Structure 1
Amino acid sequence: MDSKGPSLYAPAASSVDISRSTEEDSLVDGPLISADALHSAIRREFQTVPTPCHAGLLSLLHVVYVVLSMCVAVLCVLELGQKEVCASILGNVRGDSVIVFGKVFLWFLVLLFTGCVQHHHSQARSRGYLRFYRQTQRLKHLPLIVYSLGNVLLLVVLAVQVSPTIQTYMLLSVLGLEFLVALPCLLYYTVQVMRFNREQAAPDVSQEEYSHTYSITSLPTETGFREGSSLEEVVEKQADLIEYLKQHNTLLSKRLINLTAQH
């Protein structure tokens, strides 16, 4: 009985092996995707962040506003020029009111600029540039903070009960101080984004994979917790990385399906 037992199950095992080999042969005989085609399909072209143009335009508008405000303050408010010219240009509107209206309009432009910057930086974050997003996270909100503080100082100056001449000089001082602080912030932001666009680096995950592959002593990535790092910051980085990997895997699955259908 013992000698006949294995022989009874031998055909079943052989049939299983035959079916497996048939399935494997069918997979091997199917259309194969070359590594070059897969790499070219997965690789996406670098997309620049267009916000330096917006920052340059905002800086130019700020310079024009400060120059025009000084002209209006000197010629129309302090009345050091011809009153007829100011009256023909401004009409019944006071010169200091024109400066305040211009300041409100400039702040509204800064608000639009901040929203535009947030949109483009979020897109860069979704493409895997998490390090760039974090390096400019506070910098992109700094112009709006500076202009908002300028509005607060402007309201304080308008609320102070002093002579019109002193109030005008204080108003110009606030505008000058705001200009000296806001313009370097915009220029520094422009330099950082232009450097990012010029480098055209790969996403952070690809850079880490490349460094781990070709470096002799690979350093630990920023995903894990290290001494001296904030736990909240590490968790946030991990969440960003997981979100990017999900989007990357979804794109990769779609590209694989399309390439399989083409072959």
Structure 2
Amino acid sequence: MDEANRNSGDAGPQTSDRSQLIDPILTSTANDQFKALKTVPAFSIHLLISTAISFTGVLLAMASPPEKRCNAYFTMLYLRAAFWVITYLFDHYVKHQHEQLRLNGYHDFHRSTAMHKGVPLHVVSLWNTAILAVQAMMQHYYGEHFGEHCLEGFLSPITYITAFNVVETIVLGCINGNYIVRVRKFNKSGQPPDALTGTSCNEGSLGLLQSRSNTAELLEKQADLINFLKDHNLKLNQKLMQLNAQVRTVHIN
């Protein structure tokens, strides 16, 4: 009897240790662990900087005395170069945040915004390329008389570069605004990762028990498996439709 009690006493701590090592990784309380996508401030600041540069260009075009219009134009060129560097760093930050989102298991939203998140860098690069091309043409055709054309009124270089920047700000306003709205809706929904979508909130554990590991890796693997099965199911449906069409053709013949 004493030996049995000792055995039962020894089994208790071992069972407790195993229960501590093996916990349910995926639970239905995913909303408590939801990590919001922190890119809204970055997109807002990026749009604010573009607006500030446009406003600066308008002030320089309107308030600069004729003899300083060339200096105003070159100031805008420097601002454009700095804005591209800011956009480049901004793009890397946004990509890092979206990669973290993917690792957290939100593959569907990651794919739906894959192109959208990189559009600002493409727009700013395209605008800077256009400005560089116009600058090259002006230097080529005006030559030594470029300084004289800087002093012109409405058609001076400061006017056209300000117009370019204002149009860019309008485009970025549409792009960044749309992205901000989508991300805010996503953050407000607080939805669970793709692997947990459709589970009941009262179920507690989903029954997936395994030793402690990286939850992000598990969610990523399960989301990849779900996407693979969806694609495989779609291909099977297409093949089934083709076989049905062939069978109907044989019966008709």
Structure 1 partner of 2:44: 56
Structure 2 partner of 1:201: 191
User: Quick one: which of 29, 35, 47 aligns to 1:47?
Assistant: 35
Counting only pairs closer than 5 Å after superposition, residues 137-152 of structure 1 correspond to structure 2 as: 137-152=114-129
TM-score of the pair, normalised by structure 1: 0.60
Segments of 4+ moved more than 4 angstroms: 25-29, 37-44
Structure 1 partner of 2:136: 159
1:30 aligns with 2:15: yes
Q: Deviations over 1:231-256 (max 9, x none)?
A: xxxxxxxxxxxxxxxxxxxxxxxxxx
Change over 3 Å in CA distance of 1:154–1:203 after alignment to 2 = same
The answer to whether the Cα contact below 8 Å between 2:101 and 2:110 also exists between their aligned partners in 1 is: yes
Counting only pairs closer than 5 Å after superposition, residues 175-254 of structure 1 correspond to structure 2 as: 175-207=165-197, 222-224=227-229, 225=231, 226-227=233-234
**C-alpha distance in 1 between matches for 2:167 and 2:187:** 31
CA offset at residue 33 of structure 1?
4.1
State the SS of the aligned residue for 2:197. Answer: helix
The answer to whether the Cα contact below 8 Å between 2:120 and 2:172 also exists between their aligned partners in 1 is: yes
Q: Deviations over 1:219-239 (max 9, x none)?
A: xx543224479xxxxxxxxxx
Change over 3 Å in CA distance of 1:203–1:95 after alignment to 2 = same
Structure with more relative contact order (C-alpha pairs < 8 Å, separation 6 or more): 2
Q: Answer with 25-34 or 99-108: which moved more.
A: 25-34
Q: How many residues align?
A: 187
Unaligned runs of 5+ in 1: 1-21, 88-92, 214-220, 230-263
State percent identity of aligned pairs: 20
**C-alpha distance in 1 between matches for 2:46 and 2:14:** 61
CA offset at residue 60 of structure 1?
1.3
CA offset at residue 71 of structure 1?
1.0
Q: Answer with 201-210 or 52-61: which moved more.
A: 201-210
**C-alpha distance in 2 between matches for 1:137 and 1:40:** 26
Task: Point out the structure with max Rg over C-alpha.
Answer: 1
Structure 2 partner of 1:169: 159
CA offset at residue 105 of structure 1?
1.0
1:97 aligns with 2:74: yes
User: Quick one: which of 125, 128, 134 aligns to 2:102?
Assistant: 125
RMSD: 3.6
Q: Deviations over 1:42-72 (max 9, x none)?
A: 9561111111011111111111110011111
Change over 3 Å in CA distance of 1:72–1:206 after alignment to 2 = same
Change over 3 Å in CA distance of 1:57–1:29 after alignment to 2 = closer
Unaligned runs of 5+ in 2: 1-6, 143-148, 204-225, 237-253
**C-alpha distance in 1 between matches for 2:123 and 2:92:** 16
CA offset at residue 205 of structure 1?
0.6
